[in-house]
Amino acid sequence: MKPIITACLAALWVTAAAAQTTETTRTKTKVRVDGGKEVTVSGCVAENPNGGYMLTNNSGGMEYALVGGDDMAKHVGHRVEVKGKATDADHGKVKIESKEKTNRADTTHEKSELKGVHALSVKSLKMIASSCR
């Protein structure tokens, strides 16, 4: 009987120790355009190799990193018209704020700004064509 009780206590101790060391982490990142100038730009939505989405222009014009917008994945490969605030070297900044929370209530904040990036906040998006050709 003692070996069974000892085994049960050992199993409870391992379970309790595992429960105490389990930690969940949630990270939330906000990217926004501050300043900038209101523009209406047309182009093709493509996946950005560094993550996110971009608006490309087949004629060699400006390319923008798209900030915000709902369901951008469904517009990849579509020709669209985007209205929003654009940044360039002279107008606006892209601000990134990241918050991390754990179940132990520790919170860290990171804030940074990107300068020299051509970004476009997506206030509205209208599909012009289902293909970029």
DSSP-derived secondary structure for 3-67: HHHHHHHHHHHHHHHHHHH---EEEEEEEEEES-EEEEEEEEEEE-TTSSEEEE-TTS---EEEE
Around Cβ 19, how many Cβ atoms within 10 Å? 8
What's residue 109's pLDDT?
Answer: 66
Instruction: Say how far apart CA 64 and CA 117 lie, in whole Å.
Output: 8
What's residue 26's pLDDT?
Answer: 73
pLDDT digits (tens, 9 = 90+) for 88-132: 766 777 777 777 777 776 666 666 666 666 888 899 999 999 998
Q: Say if residues 44 and 77 touch (Cβ distance below 8 Å).
A: yes
Predicted TM-score (pTM) of the model is 0.64
What's residue 11's pLDDT?
Answer: 41
Strand-pair partners of 2: none
